[in-house]
Amino acid sequence: MLRTVPGHLSFDRVATIYDETRSLAPRAMARLLAVLVDELHRKRVLEIGVGTGRYAVPLQKSGIRVVGVDISRLMVEFGLAKGLRDVVFAEGAHLPFGPRSFDVATTNHVLHLVPNWREVFAEIARVTQEMYFTVIERSQRVDSIQRDYDDLLREAGYEYHHPGIHERDLPSLVKPDMVIPVGPFHETVPADTILKEFAGRAYSGQWDVPEPIHREAMTRLRQQWGGKDYSRSYALEVTFWRIDRIPELAKATVQRS
């Protein structure tokens, strides 16, 4: 079953660079996948916001039964080229599946883009019978190019507020039933690589930034970070909630800073 969903944010515009700008380092990805394959063995898995299949493709190749849902045809096309299978074009708040069709459901770096994220959780509770999980990245840096970019935007009078909720904030709303830590990991990359991503507006929070503000921010970021190495330490958390607790997430009160 295929259908398009007009009027919703699509990642078509960054499909060509999505994997390049979001992928985990090979060592981190390998350790994460080992955990996921072990936990999802013999489970029917639904991934809402499957995109290019960053997680779904290696899980499917490992024998995990994953069905993906997305609204971006171009993102999915890149996934299909990598071997992605079993994709439905649909919105997460209106899933074309019957009750309890899946054992486990997941979203990853998706819900901050979804204004009706509570309805997505209602649908997850309807079509899933065991668990919901998400993969959360916890950085140990107190500074970052992202943070500096955001500070420069605020200094210029512009501030972006995501329409939904970040998965990383869910544990502070409702305590998870299980958290599996993966890591920590340590990486060093040229800061110029990250500056190039920001200059090209690779991230959704940048898409509506007025060009003069964006251009000035990039000029100052290059002055601060250009030519340097960018080192970071981070850990991953595979975070699970029982499906009977998903209504708690849907009803949780979100505090905006």
Instruction: Supply the pLDDT for residue 146.
Output: 92
- Whether residue 98 contacts residue 38, with contact meaning beta carbons closer than 8 Å, is answered with no
CA dist 165 and 148 (Å) reads 21
Number of CB atoms found within 10 A of residue 95's CB: 22
Instruction: Supply the pLDDT for residue 133.
Output: 98
CATH placement of domain 12-140+161-185+233-251: 3.40.50.150
Q: What's the token pair of residue 7?
A: 């009027």
The total number of residues shown for the chain amounts to: 257
With a CB cutoff of 8 Å and minimum separation 6, the contacts of 91 are: 5, 8, 71
CA dist 48 and 125 (Å) reads 13
Residuewise pLDDT in 10s, the chain (257 residues): 333 343 355 676 777 776 677 778 899 999 999 999 999 999 999 999 999 999 999 999 999 999 999 998 999 999 999 999 999 999 999 999 999 999 999 999 999 989 999 999 999 999 999 999 999 999 877 679 999 999 999 999 999 888 999 999 999 999 999 999 999 999 999 999 999 999 999 998 899 999 999 999 999 999 999 999 999 899 999 999 999 999 999 988 776 54
CA dist 78 and 52 (Å) reads 5
178-190 β-sheet, strand order: 87-89, 65-70, 44-48, 102-107, 128-139, 229-242, 178-190
Bridge partners (DSSP) listed for residue 135: 238
CA dist 125 and 132 (Å) reads 9
Terminal Cα distance for the chain, rounded:
40
Question: What ranges do the domains of the chain cover?
Answer: 12-140+161-185+233-251
Instruction: Supply the pLDDT for residue 4.
Output: 35
Instruction: Supply the pLDDT for residue 6.
Output: 39
12 phi/psi in degrees, rounded to 5: -50, -40
- Whether residue 245 contacts residue 174, with contact meaning beta carbons closer than 8 Å, is answered with yes
Q: What's the token pair of residue 39?
A: 């936990």
With a CB cutoff of 8 Å and minimum separation 6, the contacts of 104 are: 40, 43, 44, 45, 46, 128, 130, 131, 132, 133
Q: Is 109 helix (H, G, I), strand (E, B) or coil?
A: coil
Please report, for the chain, how many H helices and E strands are present, in that order: 10, 7
Instruction: Supply the pLDDT for residue 140.
Output: 75
Count CA atoms within 13 Å of residue 154 on its CB side. 8
Instruction: Supply the pLDDT for residue 142.
Output: 65
